[in-house]
Amino acid sequence: MNCLRAITLSLSLFLVGMVGPIQAQLQMNFYANTCPNAEKIVQDFVSNHISNAPSLAAALIRMHFHDCFVRGCDGSVLINSTSGNAERDATPNLTVRGFGFIEAIKAVLEAQCPGIVSCADIIALASRDAIVFTGGPNWSVPTGRRDGRISNSSEALANIPPPTSNFTNLQTLFANQGLDLKDLVLLSGAHTIGVSHCSSFSNRLYNFTGRGDQDPALDSEYAANLKSRKCLSLNDNKTIVEMDPGSRKTFDLSYYQLVLKRRGLFQSDSALTTNPTTLSNINRILTGSVESFFSEFAKSMEKMGRINVKTGSAGVVRRQCSVANS
């Protein structure tokens, strides 16, 4: 009997050892004991700077999205590479902004609580706070993410949905992250704020199928306006264009209205109307209130913020967000 108990105890300890790190979860106020003011420090920093740079709200939520779609939400998008092959060197991330902003928040936190708050959590918190301070939706951000140390440009290129995506590509890349078609529609709603470079959609204006043609799914009047006033050539990679013209600073339903009018800027925006499920979701959102949209958007953001997170003994807490082994 004692031998059986010993075997049972050993097996139990073995199983605990196996599943311990897996069971570690994100939780609200994770830093309550180790760095009690962590979330307020992030919030205050965002509050003090967002009024001078309101466009950072769109930039930070985009950074959060790009981070989570590659190796999970582990801050790997922030890592610099001397050889030019980190995530931030990949084409989808060349126009991502806010790296210095996150690093500045990290410096303040390191001064208060050295080695405690992860860069991954800073991205998650700062992106939420920036959206809230610009009048957008609020959502819960459980913390406890750990940072990764691996950052590959090839993985970013393979996993981040490009603006040229058709529906099949969008569905696949979102499903790979555990996100469904409802999440796809809701998270695309973040295009209601911010701007884009012409290079992200100029093929729709000048060379859609490689024959010098225009995307027939793009409203012709809107396309003509873009060609005459914004993106004057296929090679323009500097001019920026509002993703939600006339409403780019307001988190609202205008983006979805434009998509239905065939005035979504990206091919990926237009793709949402080519599937009955995503099209139905757009129409449903538009028949509801902004408050209902905010509530649903919040749930999808919370879901995205949990993608393949490293917690417990997995990952590290990088002391400098741009340095893998800091």
Q: Are 273 and 160 in contact (CB under 8 A)?
A: no
Interior/surface letters 200-221, b for 16+ CB within 10 angstroms, e for the rest: bbbbbbbebeeeeebbeebbee
Based on the residue annotation, tell me whether 197 is a catalytic residue of this protein. Answer: no
Q: What are phi and psi of 94, to 5 degrees?
A: -65, -25
Give dist(CA 231, CA 219) in Å, integer.
16
Q: What are phi and psi of 259, to 5 degrees?
A: -60, -45
Residue 6 contacts by C-beta under 8 Å, 6 or more apart in sequence?
none
> Where would I find the beta strands (DSSP E) of 136-269?
195-197, 240-242
Catalytic residue among 49, 64, 66, 197: 66
Catalytic amino acids?
A: 66
